Structure 1
Amino acid sequence: MESVEKKIEQAIRRRPKGSIFFADDFSKYGSPEAIRKSLERLHNKEKITRLAHGIYTKPKESKYLGAVMPSAEEVAEAITKRDKIRTVPTGNYALNALGLSPQIPMKIVLLTDGSPRELKIGKRTINFKKSTPNNLLAKGKISRLVIQALKEIGKEKIDEREEKKIIELLKSENIQDLKHDINLAPAWIRKIMNKAILND
C-alpha cells in the first residue's frame, strides 16, 4: 500500500510549478498528523518549499535566480480563494496596486470578513484584518482599490496628478460596478469618482 507521503508527492507532481498548496488540500490521503509529517519530509528533501505554517509551494525555476517563490500577494490570493472570504487591499498596498506608489509594501493589510490573522512570507507580512461588511461591499476591482487608496492619501493631501491618474484608472472600470461603489464611498471620495463618469 502506498504511503501518505508517496500519494502527496504524486499529487504535487501533477501540479504546475509555482503552485501554492495547503496541508488541507491533501486531507483525503490521511490524518492531519500524517499529512503534516509527510509535507515536512518532502520539504526536508527539497521537493517542496514551506512558505508559512501549513502553506507550501513547488517553486518555479529560473536559470539566473534559481528557485522563484510566489509573492506575498499570490499567497494572500490563494488564502482568499481557499477560505472563500472577501478581502479588500488597504493602505500602501492599495496605492502600490494602482501604481500611485512605487513602494512595495513590506506589510500587506487586507480587510476581510474571514478570521483575522497575520502571516510572515519571506521578509513580508500579510495581515488579514477583520472589518465591517460595509467595507467589503465594493464590487469593482479598481474602484474598491481607489476608495481605500484615497482614504490612505487623505482629503487634504491628494494632489492634481494623483486625482487625474485615479480618474483615468476608473474609466476602465465596469460602469455598473463603478456606480455601485461610488455610493459606498465617503462624500469627498464620491466627488472624485463621479468625475470618471462625467468626463467619459
Structure 2
Amino acid sequence: MKTAVSSVPSRIVKRARSSGRGSVFTPNDFLDLGGRDSIDQALSRLAKAGRLRRLARGLYDFPKVHPKLGPLSPAPDDVAQALARETGSQVQVAGSRAANVLGLSTQVPARSSYLTDGPSRRVVLGKRIVDLRHASPKHLIAPGSAAGTVVQALRHLGPSRAADIVHVASRQLSPSDKKRLASTAVQAPAWMRSTLRAIADTRSDAVNG
C-alpha cells in the first residue's frame, strides 16, 4: 500500500515532464492517478520540494527556467486552458489580448482577459493577471477558435478599426476558420456582421496574390 501511495508523486512528475516545461495543471489533470486527497498531498509535497511550482490555489506548473532569470511565468493561454479543463468549460481570448494575438496591437497587456461559459476566476502571477469572466452564449461566439478571436478583437477595437481587422484577419484565417466565421457571424452584434462576412468571403489566393 505504501508503494502505491509513494508512486503517485513520481507519476505526476513523469506526466508533467512529458507535457514539457511551461505546462500548467490543476489536480483534476491527475485524478486518474489516485484519489483527490492523495493527488492534493502529492502536489503539495512536489511544490515544497521545488519539482513543481504552485501558482495559486489548485494551480501548478512545470516552469520554463531561464539561465539568468530563473523560473519564468507561464503563458496566460496555458493558465486559462488549465482552469477551463478543471471545470469542463470553454474559454475564448478577449479584449486587448485578442487584438494582441492577431498582431493588431504591439502592446502586451498586463491583464489577459478571457470569456468562459464556466465560472469566473482571476489568477495573479506577479505583475500579470489572468482574468476569466463568465459570459452568456451571445457573447461567447466560436469559443477557442481563430474565428472567435477575430470577433473579440473587433468587439474590443470597435468599428473604427474594422478595415485593419479585415486586412489582417483575411490573411491569417484558414479556409476552415473563415467558414466558421461565416456560419457564426449571425450571432454577432449587427454592427460587426458586415466586417465578419467580408473576412469570411475573402479567398486566400485573392489575399496573397
The TM tier, using the shorter chain, reads: 0.7 to 0.9
1:152 to partner: Cα distance: 0.9
Q: Does 1:191 align with 2:204?
A: no
Q: Which residue of 2 aligns with 1:2?
A: 3
Distance change (3 Å), C-alpha of 1:140 and 1:85: closer
Shift of 1:85: 0.8
CA distance in 2, matches of 1:186, 1:163: 17
Distance 1:40 1:54 in 2: 10
Query: Which whole-Å CA distance do the structure 1 matches of 2:13 and 2:143 have between them?
Result: 36
Tell me the C-alpha RMSD between the 2 structures: 2.6
- Cα pair distance change 1:126/1:46, threshold 3 Å: same
Letter in 1 for 2:61: T
| Alpha-carbon contact 1:107-1:124 (below 8 Å) kept | yes
Q: Report 1:97-176 matches (<5 A).
A: 97-138=101-142, 141-155=145-159, 157-158=160-161, 160-170=163-173, 172-176=175-179
What is the number of equivalent residue pairs in this alignment? 197
Structure 2's unaligned 5+ residue stretches are: 204-209
Unaligned runs of at least 5 residues, structure 1: none
* Deviation by residue 1:36-69 (Cα, 9 ceiling, x = unmatched): 3432232122111111111112224455554344
Q: Is the 8 A contact 1:93 1:108 kept in 2?
A: yes
What does residue 12 of structure 2 align with? 12
Is 1:42 the counterpart of 2:25 in the alignment?
no
CA gap of 1:35–1:14, structure 2 versus 1, over 3 A, is closer
TM-score scaled by length of structure 1: 0.82
